[in-house]
Amino acid sequence: MSSYTTNEMMTVAAARRLKNGAVCFVGIGLPSKAANLARLTSSPDVVLIYESGPIGAKPTVLPLSIGDGELAETADTVVPTGEIFRYWLQGGRIDVGFLGAAQVDKFGNINTTVVGDYFSPKVRLPGAGGAPEIAGSAKEVLIILKQGHRSFVDKLDFITSVGFGEGGDHRQQLGLPGKGPVGIITDLCIMEPEAGTNEFVVTALHPGVTREQVIENTGWAIRFADNMTVTAEPTAVELDALRALEARTAAAHGGQVGGEA
C-alpha cells in the first residue's frame, strides 16, 4: 500500500459513507471532494445535487463554487434554486446532506457564520448558504472537517445549522423533519451520535491515530465507543481516483485543488 496523507484518509473515509444510489445535496469544498470520490469509486450511481440547481452533476474537476459551469454542463438537468429547496429538499427527496463546517459541537451543531462575537467578530465566515435547510430537512447529514481545538468546540460562537440542538430529543422538539447528523468524519477519526443522548462519540480511529491525539484536538470531553474500530486504510483504487481528481482540478484551475477548506 502506498503512503497517504491524513487529508486523503479523511476524504476516503467520508466517501465510503455515501451509499450507492443515494440522492445527495452537496456542499462546496471537502464535501464535494468526498462526494465526487464516492461517485468515481464505490457509489457510481449516486445522484449529486448542488444548491445552484444541477441534478445528477458529474464534474470531471472539483467545482470552485456552486456557480461553477462544470456542474451545469455535466448534470442530467438543471432546475431553479427554489425547486432544489422546496421540491427536492423540503419535499423529503434528499437522502443525504453533505456539509462542511468551521466549528462543530458535541451535538453536531454547525457554525459557518462568525468566530467571536457576532457584532464584532474575529473572523466573519462565508455564512449559512443553504446549510441550515440541508441540516434541517435532509433525511441524514454527514459532516466533514479537519479536527482541532478551534473547530471542535465546547460552545459554538454562533449556531448556523442545527444538528441535535441541546442533545437528546431536542431536535424533535424543534420540529425538524430530518434525522440529523449521522457521522462526523475528520482527519483523525469518525464520530457518530450516541443513542439516547445524541452526543457524538468516537466510533473509529484512523490508522496510527491515538486516543490522546483525539482528546488533544477536541474542545470538549470527548468519549470513545466501547466497540470502537480502526478505519480501513485507503485502497490503491481510492487513492488513484482521488489523486487523479485533484490533479485534473489543479490543471483546470491554475493550481487550485479545491476541497481544502
Strand partners, 152: 104
Grouping H, G, I as helix, E, B as strand and the rest as coil, residue 138 is coil
Q: Which residue in the list 51, 133, 238, 246 is annotated as catalytic?
A: 51
User: CA-CA distance, 146 to 237, in Å (whole number)?
Assistant: 23
Strand partners, 99: 143
Contact between 40 and 249 under an 8 Å Cβ cutoff? The reply is no
User: CA-CA distance, 205 to 231, in Å (whole number)?
Assistant: 6
User: CA-CA distance, 47 to 94, in Å (whole number)?
Assistant: 10
For residue 137, the tally of other CB atoms under 10 A from its CB is 22
Contact between 180 and 173 under an 8 Å Cβ cutoff? The reply is no
Start-to-end CA distance of the chain, whole Å, equals 27
Q: Catalytic annotation on 51?
A: yes
Active-site residues, by number, are: 51
